[in-house]
């Protein structure tokens, strides 16, 4: 049973390499993936070695599926990889420039550096519409306050990541741009109804879904006018009706970190993973607390045994995860180091980053797939 459950979980790890305990836990429970933070990053060679170490575990695991190796690399203040990786400006700079070709190149170049060291999933782009000037949580992480502008660049960014063989994950569904409260600290409660979301917040997500987006991340936000009981991550109304039925989204749904105070301060921690799966989440994200993933597996196993979770639902989600991995991670291992080092901090990438920061567009950039 743990083989089935574990593939639905993405975990954080402690340091610059895997501990023996982490390796054992990942292999024995068929864990779906690992997310890297600043604590896991020393320099490019170390990240490259760590990603190879993580990916090598698949050969010992049930089904031998590649692991997701994820990171938060949006640009600006949300960037786990520092120099000599290219330092990218925040997305607001792309919105100010308003060149979809540059946005495509931005994510393609960033993606190439991630792919070089073995990172295959980026929790980006942030496609929240910045509608509340007091919202410091999002701020310059957003492309624009104009939904159509965000949608246009979301499409270009997604295509750039895909071109680089990195899976983009649009966030934070259905939109975090109007909140004041940081969901790391507490649960934001928003007054918007579905009509408002369809007019503003959901516009970029609709465009993103048309751009072959394979993953989207839920926001821990409660919208009482749409679901009086549950925040989005735990809401069947949002994930099964709005996302799957109304918007016809077919990709994977990953939660934001389930240990964030938005959920853990308001709901029973034993209930959260079970309720997330019931609501329609495919992948449960646990970033910082090592005790949480084993406990989640235990809670989910109990819910399956007691009939609160349908095994058939979990099995169909399991198949969706595996088939998506097969399609989107054709080459799981990092590039050879001598190739990787040519890509990390490449002068062309630095030039593009500088030109975006300075508000300039390079005329020689060309996006062969652009539809704008």
> What are the tens digits of pLDDT across the range 174-187?
999 888 888 888 99
If DSSP codes are grouped into helix, strand and coil, which group holds residue 79? Answer: strand
| Confidence (pTM) | 0.95
Q: Cα(69)–Cα(34) distance, rounded to whole angstroms?
A: 5
- Give the number of other CB atoms < 10 A from CB of residue 110: 28
What does the pLDDT read at residue 303? 98
**In the sheet where 121-122 sits, what is the strand order?**
252-254, 215-218, 167-173, 121-122, 68-71, 33-36, 9-12, 284-286
**Phi then psi dihedrals of residue 284, to 5 deg:** -100, 125
What is the per-residue pLDDT across 177-225, written as a single tens digit (0 to 9) for each?
A: 888 888 888 999 999 999 999 999 999 999 999 999 999 999 999 999 9
Reply yes or no on whether the pLDDT at 15 is more than 50: yes
Q: Angle of helix 202-210 relative to helix 147-163, nearest 10 degrees? A: 30
Q: Angle of helix 347-357 relative to helix 100-117, nearest 10 degrees? A: 140
Tokens found for residue 108: 């393609």
Among 214, 256, 257, 259, which one carries the catalytic annotation?
256
364 belongs to the catalytic site: no
Kindly write down the DSSP assignment for every residue of 135-176, as one continuous string: -TTTGGGSS-S-HHHHHHHHHHHHHHHHHTT-EEEEEEET--
- Give the number of other CB atoms < 10 A from CB of residue 261: 15
- Mean pLDDT over 317-324 rounds to 97
Reply yes or no on whether the pLDDT at 365 is more than 80: no
48 belongs to the catalytic site: no
What does the pLDDT read at residue 369? 45
Percentage of the residues of the chain whose pLDDT score is greater than 90: 91
What does the pLDDT read at residue 361? 80
Reply yes or no on whether the pLDDT at 288 is more than 60: yes
What does the pLDDT read at residue 363? 54
What does the pLDDT read at residue 368? 45
What is the per-residue pLDDT across 339-361, written as a single tens digit (0 to 9) for each?
A: 999 999 999 999 999 999 999 88
What does the pLDDT read at residue 167? 98
What is the per-residue pLDDT across 27-47, written as a single tens digit (0 to 9) for each?
A: 999 999 999 999 999 999 999
Residues in the chain: 372
Instruction: Give me the chain's average pLDDT, please.
Output: 95
Q: Positive or negative, the Cα torsion across 236, 138, 41, 332? A: positive
What does the pLDDT read at residue 85? 98
Specify the CATH class of 2-357 in words: alpha beta
Among 184, 268, 313, 371, which one carries the catalytic annotation?
184
- Mean pLDDT over 1-22 rounds to 96
What does the pLDDT read at residue 182? 87
Reply yes or no on whether the pLDDT at 367 is more than 60: no
Reply yes or no on whether the pLDDT at 370 is more than 80: no
Going by pLDDT thresholds of 50, 70 and 90, the confidence category of residue 254 is very high
For residue 280, give Cα distances in angstroms to 9, 236, 283: 14, 6, 9
**141 closest CA partner among 205, 201, 77:** 77
Tokens found for residue 144: 């624009």
- Mean pLDDT over 277-291 rounds to 98
Query: What angle (nearest 5°) sits at the alpha carbon of residue 195, between those of residues 192 and 200?
Result: 75
- Mean pLDDT over 309-314 rounds to 96
**60 closest CA partner among 35, 32, 23:** 23
- Mean pLDDT over 13-39 rounds to 98
Reply yes or no on whether the pLDDT at 372 is more than 50: no
């Amino acid at each position: 049973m743990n083989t089935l459950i574990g593939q639905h979980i993405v975990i954080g790890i402690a340091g610059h390499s895997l501990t023996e305990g982490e390796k054992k836990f990942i292999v024995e429970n068929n864990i779906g993936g690992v997310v890297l933070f600043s604590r896991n990053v020393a320099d490019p060679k170390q990240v490259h070695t760590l990603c190879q170490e993580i990916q090598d575990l698949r050969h010992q695991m049930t089904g031998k599926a590649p692991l997701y190796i994820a990171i938060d690399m949006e640009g600006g203040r949300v960037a786990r990889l520092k120099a000599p990786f290219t330092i990218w400006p925040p997305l607001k700079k792309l919105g100010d420039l308003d060149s979809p070709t540059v946005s495509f190149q931005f994510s393609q170049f960033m993606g190439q550096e991630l792919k070089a060291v073995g990172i295959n999933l980026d929790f980006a782009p942030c496609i929240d519409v910045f509608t509340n000037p007091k919202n410091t949580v999002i701020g310059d992480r957003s492309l624009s306050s104009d939904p159509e502008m965000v949608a246009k660049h979301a499409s270009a960014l997604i295509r750039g990541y895909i071109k680089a063989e990195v899976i983009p994950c649009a966030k934070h569904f259905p939109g975090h741009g109007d909140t004041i409260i940081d969901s790391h600290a507490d649960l934001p409660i928003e007054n918007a109804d579905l009509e408002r979301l369809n007019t503003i917040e959901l516009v970029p997500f609709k465009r993103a879904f048309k751009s072959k987006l394979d993953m989207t991340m839920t926001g821990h936000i409660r919208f009482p006018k749409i679901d009086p009981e549950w925040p989005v991550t735990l809401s069947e109304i949002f994930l099964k009706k709005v996302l799957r039925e109304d918007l016809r989204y077919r990709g994977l749904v990953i939660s934001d970190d389930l240990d964030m105070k938005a959920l853990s301060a308001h709901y029973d921690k034993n209930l959260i993973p079970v309720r997330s799966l019931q609501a329609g989440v495919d992948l449960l994200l646990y970033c910082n607390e090592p005790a949480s993933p084993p406990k989640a597996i235990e809670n989910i196993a109990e819910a399956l045994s007691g009939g609160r979770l349908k095994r058939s639902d979990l099995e169909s989600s399991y198949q969706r995860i595996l088939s998506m991995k097969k399609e989107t991670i054709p080459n799981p291992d990092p590039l050879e180091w001598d190739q990787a080092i040519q890509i990390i901090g490449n002068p062309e990438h630095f030039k593009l980053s500088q030109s975006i920061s300075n508000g300039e567009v390079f005329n020689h950039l060309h996006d062969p797939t652009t539809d704008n």
